A and B are shown apart, each in its own frame.
Chain A
Amino acid sequence: MEKVLMKGNEALAEAAIRAGCKCFFGYPITPQSELPAYLAREMPKRGGVFLQAESEVAAINMVYGAAGAGVRVMTSSSSPGISLKQEGISYLCGAELPCVIVNIMRGGPGLGDIQPAQSDYFQATRGGGHGDYRTIVLAPASVQELVDLVYDAFDLADKYRNPVLILGDGILGQMMEPVVFKERPAKELPPKTWATTGKMGRQKSNVINSLYLDPVKLEEHNRKLFKKYQEIEQKEARYEILNGDDAEYFVVAYGICARIAHAAVEMAREEGIKVGLIRPITLWPYPKKAFEEVLPRAKAFLTVELSCGQMVEDVKLSVEGRAPVYFYGRTGGMVPTAEEIFEEIKKMRGLS
């Protein structure tokens, strides 16, 4: 199959069209603007709708409308813009509407800068807005994986009637790598009998809503949502372990950081250090199973992030005190070198 050289942002956009996305609503922000630019050009030609909204808040509420009408819909932004969308994401979760939300993270807090970061991990994996809810969070580490996960994101969203977040970073969005757009057979998914597409002979109207004034009803609704989240936790966690077979030490990293950490692991291997890499592909649900798999032989873990330490909390919750967990991070748009991480691997070995 033909390989094409594409930027992460553009490959993501192309994959969305191929995955059946019919509507895109967004507002430009660096470093993800190539994504809406691509869709602005391609969507009208290929039977879709592209609309640049007046704000991120407007865009996410347009997503709510389109998702309610049962079509595949996506929005994208970068960190500050994703913060603006949080109210809408909470409503989407409350109303159980499937959609895909892309966050190509940049440095924060506030307006921060436009360089790569992973400092929206808490926001992404703990809900982000108000109320008891979760979004599925996918964390690709290459342009090819970005493409593959877009298809999965739409399928997971429809399967569970839940928003799915694709969490990338500035480098992933900007970098080019070869990609193949594989033909994928359509997944068997539940029909959207709940969508507001007209009564079509039904007795009752469909209503899309997140307001439950009766607390008994709202508790019931929350319990139902949590049952769904438990099912997702059981079935959908994904991860990759590299150089893990005989490893005694593990680096844990996701997204672009996992790529740099992989290089550091290879350096360490050359010096005979038995170290492997755990790369979570889903950040929620968090792949706790990866840790169970290696804990019998793991002497210590080193979490590496483009943040001051966010995913490290999930690593600790997974390890549950059974081995030391160390952290190394760069932030504000700074990116560690493989050599820096290699030094931290050596330190971890010395400490445990």
Chain B
Amino acid sequence: MKLEIIMAGFGGQGIMLMGEILAHSAMLEGREVSWIPSYGPEMRGGTANCMVVISDKRIPSPIISSPDILVAMNKPSMEKFTPMVKSGGVVILNKALIDERPARNDIEIIEVDASGIADELGNMRVANMVALGVLVGKTGVVKPETVIKSIDHFLPEHRKNMLEINEKALMRGIAEIKK
């Protein structure tokens, strides 16, 4: 098993954290993992992306040139990374911020209203966990309960009250796949 994932969006959407949580939970399940951030001079509002590789074996290159999965949280990310996705791969789109569909018919496109669902749950900032839920539901690469453990791991002590809403967002994302 080897899965290569690119996650991308605006700075401030929790893109890096989404990748870290995924990598961390795969590590907890005994997999080899790597995570690379884009680290340009951009700050909040700029573009952000990270690359996550999950494998059963030693990972040769942590750098991804053709991902199995793309999570695009905004339109510029979809436009930039969709051409790189492997034929037969999956693109998860945050429908709320993307008004177009990529012009490729050799990949599976999953549209999810991540921002809308997050808003409904009461905090726009958990849109990343909705998208992560979709990825987890689609691939089954990690167990939901492991992801919840990892969310808890990354939440600082004074933010533990946020665990519940993050967990809900994750489960809503997973439910989107089962619909």
Contacts and interface: CB of A to CB of B under 8 A. Distances in A.
Contacts of B32: 178
Contacts of A3: 27
Contact of A266 (B20, B34, B40, B60): B60
Interface string A5-49: 100000000000000000000000011000000000000000000
Contacts, number: 60
Contacts of A335: 63
Contacts of B63: 171, 256, 259-260, 335, 337-338
A176 interface: yes
A266 B37 CA distance: 24
Interface in B30-52: 32-37, 39-41
Given A114-B39, A176-B23, A5 B62 contact: no
Contact of B60 (A115, A170, A259): A259
A195 B102 CA distance: 66
B65 interface: yes
A5 B33 contact: yes
Contacts of B27: 3, 5, 178
Contacts of B23: 5, 176
Interface in A264-307: 265-266
B60 A175 contact: no
Contacts of B95: none
Given A5-B20, A5-B24, A175 B65 contact: no
Interface in A119-159: none
B105 interface: no
Given A5-B24, A114-B41, A262 B61 contact: yes
A3 B63 CA distance: 22
Interface residues of A, number: 24
Nearest to A177: B34
B35 A175 contact: yes
B89 to A, nearest CB: 16
B107 to A, nearest CB: 19
Nearest to B30: A3
Given A260-B61, A263-B61, A170 B35 contact: no
Given A3-B27, A5-B24, A114-B41, A339 B35 contact: no
B37 A174 contact: yes
Contacts of A259: 59-63
A80 to B, nearest CB: 15
Given A5-B27, A31-B39, A177 B65 contact: no
A171 B53 CA distance: 14
Interface string A104-121: 000000000011000000
Nearest to A4: B27
B11 to A, nearest CB: 15
A171 B60 contact: no
Contacts of B59: 259
Contacts of B62: 171, 175, 177, 259
**Most A C-beta atoms less than 10 A away, residue of B24, B59, B62:** B62
A266 B57 CA distance: 13
Contacts of A170: 39
Contacts of A176: 20, 23, 34-36
Contact of B33 (A177, A260, A262, A263): A177
A265 B60 CA distance: 9
Given A31-B39, A114-B41, A262-B60, A178 B33 contact: yes
Interface of B: 20, 23-24, 27, 32-37, 39-41, 59-63, 65
Q: Would you list the 6 A-B pairs with minimal beta carbon distance, nearest first? A: A263-B61, A262-B60, A337-B65, A263-B60, A176-B35, A260-B61
Interface of A: 3, 5, 30-31, 114-115, 170-171, 174-178, 256, 259-260, 262-263, 265-266, 335, 337-339
9 contacts: A3-B27, A5-B33, A30-B39, A31-B39, A114-B39, A114-B40, A174-B36, A266-B60, A335-B63
